[in-house]
Amino acid sequence: NAGVTQTPKFQVLKTGQSMTLQCAQDMNHNSMYWYRQDPGMGLRLIYYSASEGTTDKGEVPNGYNVSRLNKREFSLRLESAAPSQTSVYFCASSDRTGMNTEAFFGQGTRLTVV
């Protein structure tokens, strides 16, 4: 049972470099999400995709772009990394048809921008 798979698990970038975080789910879920976790802030929503072909901004979208490649995959791109983007990133998915359906999370990507 793979669930939600994120790659890579760890990454160090230099300021100004770009990278894409990959996320895939095998639960046939419609909705997918990207969060960042910073100490004392909980998880904050960056972008989400309610269904294949749609994406919307969350609470902290600046500096990020996303692509819902197909129903399974939802990627997060940093075009020009900044030290403020040092964080742990989590991808999640859920079945949007049930209001009490929980979200399932990947194991996270720890990103450091130097």
Residue 86, CA distances (Å) to 55, 69, 75 in order: 23, 25, 17
64 binds other proteins (CB under 8 A): no
Q: Residue 49's Cα: distance from chain center in Å? A: 10
Identify the residue whose tokens are 């990627």.
Answer: 75
45 binds other proteins (CB under 8 A): yes
Candidates 21, 23, 35, 78; binder of other proteins (CB under 8 A) is 35
Interface residue list for other proteins (CB under 8 A): 30-31, 33, 35, 40-45, 48, 50-51, 56, 58, 90, 92, 94, 96, 99-103, 105-108
